[in-house]
Amino acid sequence: MQVANQIRDILTEHFSPVELQIIDDSSKHAGHSGADPRGESHFSVLVVSEKFEGQNRVNRQRLVYGALDTLLKERVHALALKTMTPDEYKAALANRTN
């Protein structure tokens, strides 16, 4: 199974996201330290979930890192996270269109 699909499955199970975007950035890091020759080692992820309500940014990221712990130890070298509540996401989208 592709790593991106594994990330999607895990985050969907743990956070029931209303929006989930996973971007494989590995090609930008080819040849760099930590780059896996198989690819799929660097990702940017947006998770929008009600489960982040009342949590600060650090706690939200800890929750995601905890859910992805095994993948982070075994396969993923870098993970850029953006974690938002549905209301924060709606506001961000509204600001982009203004």
Instruction: For 57-96, write each residue's pLDDT tens digit.
Output: 999 999 999 999 999 898 887 899 999 999 999 999 999 8
For residue 55, the 8-state DSSP code is -
What pLDDT band is residue 33 in, cutting at 50, 70 and 90?
low
Q: What is the pLDDT, as a whole number, of residue 77?
A: 79
Q: What is the pLDDT, as a whole number, of residue 97?
A: 74
Share of the chain above pLDDT 90, in %: 67
Residues 6 or more apart in contact with residue 36 via CB below 8 angstroms: 26, 75, 77
**What are all long-range contacts of 28-32, with beta carbons under 8 Å and residues at least 24 apart?**
29/77, 29/78
Under CATH, what is the fold of the domain 3-97?
GMP Synthetase; Chain A, domain 3 (3.30.300)
